[in-house]
Amino acid sequence: MRVAAPILLVCLINSACTLGPDYQRPAIDTPATYRFSDADAQAIVDTGWWEQFNDPALNTLVVIALAENKDVKIAAARIDQFLGQFQTTRAQLYPQLGAGLNGQRQRLPAGSAGLPVGVDPVFNQFSAVLSASWEIDVFGRLRRQTEAARAALLASEEGRRATILALVASVASTYVNLVSLDRQLDIAKATSESRAESVHVFALRFKYGEVSEMELAQSQSEYEASLATIPQLELQIAQQEDALSVLLGRNPGPIERGSSLDKLAAPVVPAGLPSELLTRRPDLRQAEQNLIAANALIGAARALYFPSISLTGLLGTASGQFSNLFTGPARVWSYAGSVTVPIFTAGAISGQVKQAEAQQVQALLEYEKAIQVAFQEVADALVSLQKTKAALVVQGRQVDSLRTYARMARLRYEGGYTSYIEVLDSERSLFNAQLTYAQTQGTVFVSIVNLYKAMGGGWVEDAEKMTMAATPPP
């Protein structure tokens, strides 16, 4: 109490003393530039980038997902929960008023002490009162709790925006994977049809003794190999459709397509400085709000060491007859003040302070980790985009070369200059290269999607407005 006395005196004079550390944003080691850069990057992170694919079907899917996705609705409900918590906590800063009306009928035993002889032991009692109570927040415990509740509310709002960011990116990525698989399925079917014709021709040639049974078996084997690829791709397509259906808030089912993979337009690569991630990414803003909340709770815990001051009052009327409740000498009133001071708590308060300080350290480390992960995700998306673009160019040249090789190998075989093994090898290589090229095409688009997701930006707020516009009022 020797230490607390001067603080108590100062707080009573100022009547507004808030304990605990005030929040200051921690110093962050932000790199000046990203590890990988793109010469074609533009500062367009605030645009609805999914519209740049020029696929109306994708645009429709994004709108449906923003309106119907269950994770977004859960995040919205969580905001309401923290809003209620904030309102409840803030209300404690103000006087609490209440009213009551009471009526009772009572009988005392005959001969009871204080009951005059001859007086009816049965009597009525009516009262109407207005009560008030107010805890004076001298040491800022309630203000710190309100500060923490406000930060938790803001964190929940940023959590909703983070959910929207992840949702739009997931819808776009899944859709791109879907059309990429469609393209691979088309390649597999076209290859199977071509090889089926070859098997038919070789069967006729074998019948008339122009080719050996080994060549017929080789042709049949390659046909079956391409045919076996089709159900595998169809399985992956169905799984992607089911995953996309869940993102849309639907039961699993087919998904309507728009443009084919070859006709999808590539969105412009976004640009920005690393320091801008702190304001662009909602998950980083959410982590900072969690840190603010944890920081405020330290002050709320420290305030428990100091006295709690409360005022209470009552004003009303009381009468033995209801008709006289508001007339005559029926008025009653009372007021009181109370001060409670912890003397011995067996370490309970110090334990709460240690808990709050440890939670603040955890929140700080989680904030710093979230920033490092954000930089990693941007770097990964940038290098993925650069390297897959380079690989796509090489694979495109490879497909062209293998297409020429397959055509020349068949001509050489028909001319009797080589064996059928060379034809099979060229066609097998071409088939695999075409599938790989389609996969890489999809990977390039997905890398752009991941880059927009990693960069964040004002487009998240635009998507949030679309969500709110599509959500009917409660």
Rounded mean pLDDT of the chain? 85
CB 19 within 8 A of CB 140: yes
Instruction: Tell whether the model's pLDDT for residue 96 goes beyond 80.
Output: yes
Q: How far is CA 70 from the centre of its chain?
A: 11
pLDDT at position 261 is 92
What does the chain come to in residues? Answer: 474
Predicted confidence at residue 10, as pLDDT, reads 45
> Using one digit for the tens of pLDDT, what is the confidence trace for 171-214?
999 999 999 999 999 999 999 998 888 888 878 888 888 778 88
The band of 43, judged by pLDDT with boundaries at 50, 70 and 90, is low
pLDDT of residue 268: 84
% of the chain residues with pLDDT over 90: 45
Measured between alpha carbons, how far is 108 from 236 in angstroms, rounded to an integer?
Answer: 84
Q: How many CB atoms lie within 10 A of CB 380?
A: 16
Residue 404: its pLDDT value, please? 93
Higher pLDDT, 117 or 148: 148
- Could you tell me if 362 and 338 are in contact, meaning their C-beta atoms sit under 8 angstroms apart? no
The strand order across the sheet containing 331-340 reads 96-107, 122-136, 308-319, 331-340
The per-residue pLDDT for range 251-303, each reduced to its tens digit, is 999 999 998 999 999 888 877 767 777 888 899 999 999 999 999 999 989 88
Q: Which residue has the tokens 């508001």?
A: 326
Cα of first residue to Cα of last residue in the chain, in angstroms, is: 52
Query: DSSP 3-state assignment of 172?
Result: helix
CA neighbours within 13 Å on the CB side: how many for 460? 25
Q: Which domains does the chain have, with CATH numbers?
A: 17-93+141-305+351-470 (1.20.1600.10)
Is 42's pLDDT higher than 70? no
pLDDT at 2 (0 to 100): 43
What are the percentages of helix, strand and coil residues in the chain, rounded to 5? 65, 10, 25
pLDDT-above-70 percentage for the chain = 87
CB 204 within 8 A of CB 321: no
pLDDT tens figures, 376-407: 998 899 899 999 999 999 999 999 999 999 89
pLDDT for 362: 95
Longest dimension (CA), the chain: 137
**271, two tokens:** 């640009």
In the numeric block, which tokens belong to residue 265? 């337009």
pLDDT at position 474 is: 47
- Output the six-digit token pair for 62: 């994004």
Reported as a single tens digit per residue, the pLDDT across 295-345 is 999 998 988 888 888 989 888 787 767 666 667 677 788 888 888 888 888
* Cα–Cα distances in angstroms (integers) from residue 378 to residues 48, 159, 272, 275, 454, in the given order: 19, 20, 10, 12, 5
Q: Is the pLDDT of residue 38 over 90?
A: no
434 and 187 Cβ atoms separated by less than 8 Å: yes
Contact 38, 382 (CB under 8 A): yes
CA distances from 250 to 64, 182, 199, 242, 245 (A): 10, 22, 44, 9, 5
The pLDDT of residue 5 is 47
What pLDDT, on a 0 to 100 scale, did the predictor assign at position 14?
46
Place of tokens 């090889």: 195
Provide DSSP, 373-430: HHHHHHHHHHHHHHHHHHHHHHHHHHHHHHHHHHHHHHHHHHTTSS-HHHHHHHHHHH
- With 60 as the cut, is the pLDDT of residue 59 above it? yes
- Whether residue 239 contacts residue 253, with contact meaning beta carbons closer than 8 Å, is answered with no
> Rounded CA gap, 471 and 474, in Å?
9
What residues contact 210, with CB distance under 8 A and at least 6 apart?
Answer: none
Mean pLDDT of 1-17: 48
